[in-house]
C-alpha cells in the first residue's frame, strides 16, 4: 500500500469538533478559536525504548501513544479536541499493523470526541510514533506545576505502582492475582481526563501527571513552585491485590516506577472538600499523600517510619540512560 492510500485509510470521514475548518487533505489543518486558551503537548514512542512487540500489540501501541498525550492534557485540566500523528515506518512493519496503531488511537479518541487532523508518514529504520494533541481551557484556567504553596495537601488520584506490576507480570510469567487488571493498567492506561475537567471549583492547584514515578513528578512541582514536598510513603494508594508483591517491589514501583498516568497535585487545605467533590462526581479516588513545606535542601522528602529521607535521584532520563532507585 502506498503512502496516499494509507493516509486515505486512516482519514476520518466526518469530524466531531465544530471549530475545525480543514482536517486531513491540505498542507496543514485549520481550526478557529476565539475565546479559549489553546493547550498543546507532544509525546513520542519508539520501539524497544518505550514498548516492545513482545509485550504490546500494534493496537495497544496506538492506544497507549494517544493515552499518554491525553494524560498531559489532563494534567493541564484541558479539554481534548485534536490530535496529529507522525509515524516512521520500518519495512518489516506491515501496513496492516500500522493501521492497527491508528485503530488503537481511534478507540480512545472517540471516547474524548477528538479528531485526527494531520500528521506525517515516512519510512525509516525503527518504528516511531509521535503524537501531538491540542485541547482547550477557559482563559487563564490551565493548571500549572508552579502553583504549590507551603501548607498545601499533596494528593494522588487512583492507585500507584500498577503499571510496573503489570509489566513485571508480562516479563515474569507465573501465577498472579488480577493479572488482566495489572496488565491492562500497563498497556492501556486511563488518563484522568474527566476528573481534570471537573476541578473548576478548586481555585488554586498545582497539577502534574505521573509518567516518570511520583518522586520525580513531586520534584518537578517542588522545583517549579520553589517549595519542598513531603510524601508519606505508607499512605501511597495501592490496588487491593498489590500486596502479592514484595515490600521492596511495592515501594520501588510506587515511588519510582511511573507510567501509571495518574495525577499528582497540591491544594490548599481549605479546598480539600472541593477536591473530594470532584473525586466523588467523577468516580476518581483521591488520596492525601503528603504536604508542601517551605523550600528545604532537598525538593522531595519521603516520610517513612517517622523519619524524613531526602530523595536524591529521579527515575529515568533518556539522555543519561540511568535508571536509579533513589
Q: What's the rounded Cα separation, in Å, for the pair 113 and 100?
A: 19
String of b and e for 5-32 (b: at least 16 CB within 10 Å)? ebeeebeeeebebeebeebbeeeebebe
For position 12 contacting ligand ADP by CB under 6 A, the verdict is no
Figure out which of the listed residues 3, 48, 120, 126 binds Mg ion, where binding follows CB under 5 A. 120
Region of 222 (left: φ > 0; alpha: ψ -120 to 50; beta: rest) is alpha
Task: Point out the residue whose Cβ comes nearest to ligand ADP.
Answer: 119
Q: What's the rounded Cα separation, in Å, for the pair 6 and 99?
A: 8
Nearer to ligand ADP, 85 or 197 (CB): 85
For position 180 contacting Mg ion by CB under 5 A, the verdict is no
Closest CA to 6 of 96, 83, 91, 90: 96
For position 87 contacting ligand ADP by CB under 6 A, the verdict is yes
Figure out which of the listed residues 104, 118, 166, 189 binds ligand ADP, where binding follows CB under 6 A. 118
Q: Using CB atoms within 10 A of its CB, is residue 2 exposed (0-12), middle (13-18) or buried (19+)?
A: exposed
Nearer to ligand ADP, 7 or 230 (CB): 7
Stretch of residues binding Mg ion (CB under 5 A), selected from 60-68, 116-124, 284-292, 313-321: 116-124
Residue 213's binding partner out of Mg ion, ligand ADP, none, with CB under 5 to 8 Å set by partner kind: none
Nearer to ligand ADP, 3 or 48 (CB): 3
At residue 58, the 3 state secondary structure works out as: helix
* Grid cell at residue 108: 480512545
Shortest distance, CB of residue 56 to Mg ion, whole angstroms? 27
Q: What value, to the nearest 5°, has the Cα angle with vertex 105 and ends 199 and 5?
A: 145
Residue 131's binding partner out of ligand ADP, Mg ion, none, with CB under 5 to 8 Å set by partner kind: none
Shortest distance, CB of residue 233 to Mg ion, whole angstroms? 48
Q: Grid coordinates 522545583 are at which residue?
A: 223
How many chain residues interact with ligand ADP (CB under 6 A)? 14
Q: Grid coordinates 502534574 are at which residue?
A: 208
For position 120 contacting ligand ADP by CB under 6 A, the verdict is yes
Stretch of residues binding ligand ADP (CB under 6 A), selected from 18-26, 49-57, 73-81, 278-286: 18-26
Report DSSP letters for 80-109, one per residue: EEEEEEEEEE-TTS-HHHHHHHHHHHHHHH
| DSSP assigned state of 49 | T
Q: What value, to the nearest 5°, has the Cα angle with vertex 88 and ends 83 and 91?
A: 140
For position 170 contacting ligand ADP by CB under 6 A, the verdict is no
For position 121 contacting ligand ADP by CB under 6 A, the verdict is yes
Q: What's the rounded Cα separation, in Å, for the pair 256 and 259?
A: 10
| DSSP assigned state of 1 | -
Shortest distance, CB of residue 120 to Mg ion, whole angstroms? 4
Nearer to Mg ion, 122 or 138 (CB): 122
Residue 27's binding partner out of ligand ADP, Mg ion, none, with CB under 5 to 8 Å set by partner kind: ligand ADP
Per-residue interface string for the shown chain with ligand ADP, residues 23-52, x marking contact by CB under 6 A: -xxxx-------------------------
Residue 118's binding partner out of Mg ion, ligand ADP, none, with CB under 5 to 8 Å set by partner kind: ligand ADP
Shortest distance, CB of residue 85 to ligand ADP, whole angstroms? 4
Residues 57-86 that bind ligand ADP (CB under 6 A): 85-86
- In angstroms, the Cα distances linking 83 to 65, 185, 273, 326 are 11, 23, 34, 36
Interacting residue ranges for Mg ion, rule: CB under 5 A: 120
Interacting residue ranges for ligand ADP, rule: CB under 6 A: 7, 10, 24-27, 85-87, 116, 118-121
Amino acid at each position: 500500500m502506498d503512502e496516499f492510500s494509507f493516509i486515505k485509510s486512516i482519514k476520518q470521514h466526518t469530524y466531531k469538533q465544530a471549530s475545525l475548518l480543514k482536517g486531513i487533505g491540505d498542507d496543514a489543518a485549520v481550526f478557529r478559536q476565539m475565546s479559549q486558551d489553546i493547550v498543546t503537548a507532544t509525546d513520542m514512542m519508539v520501539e524497544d525504548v518505550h514498548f516492545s512487540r513482545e509485550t504490546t500489540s500494534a493496537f495497544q501501541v496506538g492506544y497507549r501513544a494517544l493515552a499518554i498525550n491525553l494524560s498531559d492534557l489532563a494534567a493541564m485540566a484541558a479539554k481534548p479536541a485534536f490530535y496529529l500523528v507522525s509515524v516512521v515506518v520500518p519495512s518489516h512493519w506491515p501496513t496492516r499493523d500500522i493501521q492497527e496503531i491508528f485503530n488503537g488511537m481511534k478507540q480512545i479518541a472517540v471516547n474524548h470526541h477528538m479528531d485526527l487532523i494531520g500528521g506525517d508518514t515516512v519510512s525509516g529504520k525503527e518504528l516511531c510514533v509521535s503524537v501531538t494533541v491540542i485541547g482547550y481551557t477557559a482563559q487563564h484556567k490551565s493548571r500549572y506545576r508552579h502553583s504549590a504553596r507551603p501548607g498545601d495537601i499533596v494528593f494522588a488520584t487512583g492507585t500507584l505502582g500498577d503499571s510496573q506490576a503489570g509489566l513485571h507480570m508480562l516479563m515474569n510469567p507465573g501465577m498472579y492475582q488480577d493479572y488482566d487488571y495489572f496488565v491492562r493498567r500497563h498497556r492501556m492506561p486511563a488518563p484522568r481526563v474527566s476528573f481534570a475537567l471537573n476541578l473548576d471549583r478548586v481555585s488554586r492547584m498545582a497539577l502534574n501527571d505521573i509518567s516518570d514515578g511520583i518522586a520525580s513528578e513531586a520534584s518537578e512541582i517542588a522545583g517549579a513552585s520553589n517549595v519542598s514536598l513531603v510524601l508519606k510513603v505508607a499512605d501511597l494508594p495501592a490496588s487491593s491485590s498489590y500486596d502479592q508483591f514484595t515490600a521492596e517491589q511495592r515501594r520501588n514501583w510506587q515511588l519510582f516506577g511511573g507510567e501509571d498516568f495518574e495525577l499528582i497535585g497540591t491544594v490548599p487545605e481549605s479546598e480539600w472538600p472541593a477536591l473530594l467533590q470532584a473525586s466523588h462526581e467523577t468516580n476518581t479516588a483521591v488520596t492525601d499523600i503528603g504536604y508542601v513545606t517551605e523550600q528545604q535542601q532537598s525538593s522531595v522528602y519521603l516520610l517513612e517510619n517517622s523519619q524524613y529521607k531526602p530523595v536524591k535521584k529521579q527515575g529515568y532520563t533518556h539522555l543519561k540512560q540511568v535508571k536509579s532507585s533513589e
